[in-house]
Structure 1
């Protein structure tokens, strides 16, 4: 998608230098940038690679010397990652076009908004309502009474369950599943997990009289706020009675599982392989690093950051930074790790003391 340097600078809300009418066709890393590319060299660390490239234009750091870098045009940015977000949006060749593919199966009771694209082999159930400008890629299924706000984009193979409600501009990557049944079962008598917790392991468990698991059905659906994004192969279970809720602007990575009845706040980041057990409540702007796991019914405040692999078994207040298993506040976790690293030396000291007490004549 060809753009001038001036157009790119306007999209980034920043300043262009040199020949602003110069046209570039795509962004590229400095080491491989050609004469028609826009090299991304947002720090001085890329200066040598940029000089060695064929690039005539680049996004550069504040204070860069265009003549020294051999550039005809440049754009300066104060915050590199924010510039990347705006730049990739400007160059993104998002598919366009509207219309309904002849292989799509749409219930007559469904309501389809204006300027909608519905791809091959899509199935849309009764009572579904699609807002204006939605894009539904191939092999998507949308269950009974589900609703999508304006501008949603469902990637190929997405499954939207019955009674799920998506706000405006929600994006799902291929094979995301929204509204699958929750993992919720009950036995006639106390189940093994209930007895284990009740006895805290003090009593050996014996087979229950009846271990049959009876399904607790999921009637509550899922509600996704505006601008939520859900990654490939991620699953969000429907609530039991009330809906599972994901707040506005929250971004969910690939291969994430969010259990039934969870409430996730606004503008959260949920990284890959995170698993949130049912009925957790999480505040706004929380960060779940990769492989974070939480137990059921935990409550976290706003702005909680969980380091990679943290296992959260208890509640934490606003602004906590936690790591480890079980997760602890960062100062406590660091102190614990420091103590563990000192154990070999401590064992040696204890062994020496024991030897001296056993053989006092050898001391000294």
Structure 2
């Protein structure tokens, strides 16, 4: 069996063009030399481009066969003499810019083909689709749905009645969207569930009375939501995800949650109902945020933390319960020293 290739090999590109794409300065090497592909430093062959931004991989860089390397000025001396050097402010960001040019189909799904509605899709006559919308087989689009031009609805996705989806969006396979307003250039990966009931019950000794969830989900422009993430609709006000926010796979977002602009939420994070993330918040994987907590603008939460109280603007918190990282590190160090002094039984 031959190995499948899912992304087309790019055409050769000269180093001068690579430098322009990367916003980098070619400080060593021939600008006319051709780059034929990209690879990690240890797997690169002649003609390939790599990047370097972590000293953990210094030994691998020293042995690389790559033709050129994107690197910051502070790591420039680590690049072997036979490798061309492109100096940039942020090697990883420059790498992303180059990859976006070489492999555009990896940024958004590959060209879906003609803008058509499959004969095997179910589109309610009362739905309104602009020109150049593609709906794949098995998709179901309810009454009153509005979808903007350039949007792709992939196989077996379900768009509930009255939802609105903007232009140039991607609704992945097996996605469900209910009670939601979605902006432009939103990317919902496979299995995402948007707008289902929030988890709300009035508990009592005779049983738990379900509280109707009558809010919506509002997703602003340029949001990306990873596979199998769930976003509950609001209970008595909207669940909101601000523009430019990026959400990883398997994140749970409860009812009435407000997420600001350009936040980053890593996999398996749980955001309890009515918590609020201001703009530019970053939360590490497997962390939990208690309901009705506010995390201030630009704050960062370390992975596997539990946020029980408000976090100030720009705060860097971690641990269980989460606290300022310097305090957390001191406590961890003190516990380790105590354990080392305590005789084992």
Counterpart Cα distance in 2 of 1:171 and 1:58? 31
Q: Which residue of 2 aligns with 1:136?
A: 153
The question of whether the paired residues in 1 share the 8 Å contact of 2:71 and 2:90 is answered with no
Pick one of 279, 287, 290 that aligns with 2:285. 290
Q: Which residue of 2 aligns with 1:271?
A: 266
Q: Which residue of 2 aligns with 1:168?
A: 184
Provide the secondary structure at the position in 2 that maps to 1:32: coil
Counterpart Cα distance in 2 of 1:288 and 1:110? 38
The question of whether the paired residues in 1 share the 8 Å contact of 2:51 and 2:91 is answered with no
- 1:189-234 deviations in Å (ceiling 9; x for gaps): xx3xxxxxxxxxxxxxxxx3x1x22222222121111111111111
Give how far 1:241 is off.
2.5
Report which of the two has the higher share of helix.
1
Give how far 1:304 is off.
1.6
Pick one of 123, 128, 147 that aligns with 2:164. 147
- 1:115-169 deviations in Å (ceiling 9; x for gaps): 22322211111111111211222221111111112211122221111x3011111
Matches within 5 A, 1:31-70: 31-41=42-52, 49=60, 52-62=63-73, 69-70=81-82
Give how far 1:83 is off.
0.8
Matches within 5 A, 1:147-226: 147-161=164-178, 163-187=179-203, 191=204, 208=205, 210=206, 212-226=207-221
The question of whether the paired residues in 2 share the 8 Å contact of 1:179 and 1:236 is answered with yes
Pick one of 3, 6, 10 that aligns with 2:20. 10
Aligned residues: 325
- 1:269-310 deviations in Å (ceiling 9; x for gaps): 111111011011121111111111111111222122111111
Q: Structure 1's 53 and 306: CA in aligned 2 closer, same or farther, altered over 3 A?
A: closer
Pick one of 252, 257, 268 that aligns with 2:252. 257
Give how far 1:247 is off.
0.9
The question of whether the paired residues in 2 share the 8 Å contact of 1:39 and 1:50 is answered with no
The question of whether the paired residues in 2 share the 8 Å contact of 1:14 and 1:77 is answered with yes
Q: Structure 1's 30 and 142: CA in aligned 2 closer, same or farther, altered over 3 A?
A: same
Q: Aligned-pair RMSD on alpha carbons?
A: 2.7
Counterpart Cα distance in 2 of 1:135 and 1:147? 13
Q: Structure 1's 270 and 64: CA in aligned 2 closer, same or farther, altered over 3 A?
A: closer
Which structure is larger by alpha-carbon Rg, 1 or 2?
1
Give how far 1:236 is off.
0.6
Provide the secondary structure at the position in 1 that maps to 2:42: helix
Give how far 1:54 is off.
4.6
Counterpart Cα distance in 2 of 1:64 and 1:186? 61
**TM-score of the two chains, using structure 2 as the length reference:** 0.84
Counterpart Cα distance in 2 of 1:324 and 1:47? 31
Counterpart Cα distance in 2 of 1:301 and 1:64? 37
Provide the secondary structure at the position in 1 that maps to 2:49: strand
The question of whether the paired residues in 2 share the 8 Å contact of 1:58 and 1:74 is answered with yes
Q: Which residue of 1 aligns with 2:130?
A: 113
Q: Which residue of 2 aligns with 1:238?
A: 233
Provide the secondary structure at the position in 2 that maps to 1:31: coil
Q: Structure 1's 87 and 315: CA in aligned 2 closer, same or farther, altered over 3 A?
A: same
- 1:313-364 deviations in Å (ceiling 9; x for gaps): 112221222112122222332343344335457878xxxxxxxxxxxxxxxx
Counterpart Cα distance in 2 of 1:99 and 1:144? 22
Q: Structure 1's 53 and 319: CA in aligned 2 closer, same or farther, altered over 3 A?
A: closer
Give how far 1:265 is off.
0.9
Counterpart Cα distance in 1 of 2:55 and 2:310? 43
**TM-score of the two chains, using structure 1 as the length reference:** 0.80
